[in-house]
Structure 1
Amino acid sequence: MADTLVFHHVGVITDELDAAVEFYRGLGYAPGPTYADDVQKLTIIFVEKAGSPLIELIRPLGDESPARDWIGRITAGAYHTAYTARDFDAAVGEMKKKRMKKVLGPVPAVAFGGKRVAFFWNTAVGLVELVES
């Protein structure tokens, strides 16, 4: 699996999306379009800066969002690491073999043009997102 996954982004969760965008803008990041993800019940904005990791800013929409509990735990901050997978289905299978608990997906992601994403969790590494390439 090590040669099939490529680091893609870090997800940062916040209830203060506008303030987060302004913070990263002050660090030289440029915000992209805003996405409303009705499946995951999120508002998403990617911010990017040449030579720096891509950052996904995530705001849960309502109490039904799977991400809402994180706001209660950490208020704001790093939420997950994400990797693109050339063979998405095989990568999902490998995550299960590595004792990663699937917590969401696969589901289509509006922020990735409908490509599938899946989220996995374990206590050693936290939340990991797989993104279909």
Structure 2
Amino acid sequence: MTLANIADSWIFDHLGLVVKSLERGRSALEASLLIRGWTPETIDPVNGVRLQFGRDLAGVVYELLEPLGEDSPVHQALVSGRNILNHVAYRVSDLTVAAAHLKAAKNTPTSTPKPAIAYGGAQIQFFVSPLNFIIELIEAPTHQHIFSPVEAS
């Protein structure tokens, strides 16, 4: 697969933020970034998080990640206050091809692919980039988040 083909199959999905609680995260993002729609909350025990997606007026999607416990992969970020802006995520048509591309570009996988409940069980995989930020790949190229509007207060 050529670089052009790989690039054509990558679709920006969201920015992941680690929060102490979804409720607190929603309130802060609604006030600060004008989030105007939320998906239902999802509990994902496979990946150790409670999560929810929100969309701002510009169409940017944010994923709030609340750790389910101390063994959650994002728990340490919350405790340390580092990597709160945790990752950038892309939907891809072929996780194996996209992962091979990232590995060739010296990105390091943090684990093997796992199913993600928020994406109907589609496989996801995380990588640490050479610039020390996290990239998530999601093998769900046609997935669409379903947002409900924020009620006016």
**What TM-score results when the alignment is normalised by the length of structure 1?**
0.90
**Higher Cα Rg, which structure:** 2
Aligned to 2:8, the other structure's residue is in SS state: coil
Q: Deviations over 1:72-128 (max 9, x none)?
A: 232673110001111221001111111111103310000111111000003415100
Identity over aligned residues, as a percent? 26
RMSD of aligned Cα (Å): 1.7
Which structure dedicates a bigger proportion of its chain to strand?
A: 1
> Letter of the aligned partner of 1:41 in structure 2?
G
Structure 1, gaps ≥5 residues long: none
Q: Flag the 1:97–1:28 CA change in 2: closer, same or farther, 3 A.
A: closer
2:19 maps to 1:21: no
> Letter of the aligned partner of 1:122 in structure 2?
S
Q: Deviations over 1:40-64 (max 9, x none)?
A: 1100011123532111000111111
Q: Take 1:106 and 1:76, find their aligned partners in 2: how far apart are those partners?
A: 21
1:54 paired residue among 53, 61, 66: 61
> Letter of the aligned partner of 2:7 in structure 1?
A
1:8 maps to what in 2? 13
Q: Deviations over 1:1-42 (max 9, x none)?
A: 333212110001011321111122332422210110011110
Q: Flag the 1:128–1:90 CA change in 2: closer, same or farther, 3 A.
A: same
Residue correspondence of structure 1 range 57-96 to structure 2 within 5 A: 57-74=64-81, 77-96=84-103
Aligned to 1:104, the other structure's residue is in SS state: coil
**What TM-score results when the alignment is normalised by the length of structure 2?**
0.79
1:36–1:42 Cα contact (<8 Å) kept: yes
